[in-house]
Amino acid sequence: MDTLLQAVNLIKDYKSKDGISTLRVLDGVDISITRGSIVSITGASGSGKSTLLHILGGLDRPTIGDVLFRQTNLNDLSDDNLAGFRNKNLGFIFQFHHLLPEFTAIENVMMPGLIGGGSLDELRGKALELLRKFSLDNRQDHRPSELSGGEQQRVAAARALMNDPDLILADEPTGNLDDKNTEGMLDLLFSLRDQDGMTLVMVTHDLKIADRCDEQFVLHKGQLRSNE
């Protein structure tokens, strides 16, 4: 098996409001993600699912432990190098899409490529192709305020794919979608895995979605266990 991402003994502590005591959110989490797999992480609200996802994606750092992306230990990267690493290798889809309101749909999709220094014409063509996959090419010139919630989330998903990342990290990607849009989003993500070998780690509260995944994990009291 080709291991794409591995986390070893992740511990994450937060200082309490009094600045004296600490809250341990993750308590010795280990996980190994195989290239081309779709993995779900479920757990109660406040169990630390988003914290774990952010650490796996280099958006946060653990108090103790290591995150290895192939041969790269994310802990060894400076903040600037880590930002560049994320842009090149990872894509993120959040429940709240975080689209830039002053830019059109196609400009939002292009943004990771622009940050990476790509050619404007090539990026526009790639972004339009992605919007077409999500049935949004006729909405390319609309700003987020002119799009429905489902359309905005699909734009965010297209943006996550802009730099052909090896790994997509999704935090409740269907949380604001109705049943029809949820099925459409999942069908497309699964088809991208089948066609392109994309790897996806998805936090979800929906057990029906988790059941569709290749591997299922549950986070409980700071510890992660397989739900096979």
Q: How far is CA 120 from CA 94, 100, 113, 154, in A?
A: 26, 18, 9, 22
Does position 178 have pLDDT exceeding 90, yes or no? no
Whose tokens are 């937060």? That residue is 14
Does position 195 have pLDDT exceeding 70, yes or no? yes
Residues β-bridged to residue 183 = none
pLDDT of residue 152: 86
Helix (H, G, I), strand (E, B) or coil at 145: helix
pLDDT (average), residues 201-213: 88
Interval 160-177: pLDDT, tens: 888 888 899 998 877 767
Q: What integer best gives the mean pLDDT of the chain?
A: 87
Q: Tokens at residue 169, please?
A: 């990290």
pLDDT (average), residues 116-131: 86
Interval 49-95: pLDDT, tens: 889 999 999 889 999 999 999 888 999 999 989 988 888 888 888 87
Reported as a pLDDT band with limits 50, 70 and 90, residue 209 is confident
Residue 61 makes CB contacts below 8 A (sequence gap 6+) with: 55, 74, 75
Helix (H, G, I), strand (E, B) or coil at 92: strand
Classify domain 36-60+78-226 at the CATH topology level. Rossmann fold (3.40.50)
Interval 147-164: pLDDT, tens: 888 888 888 888 988 888
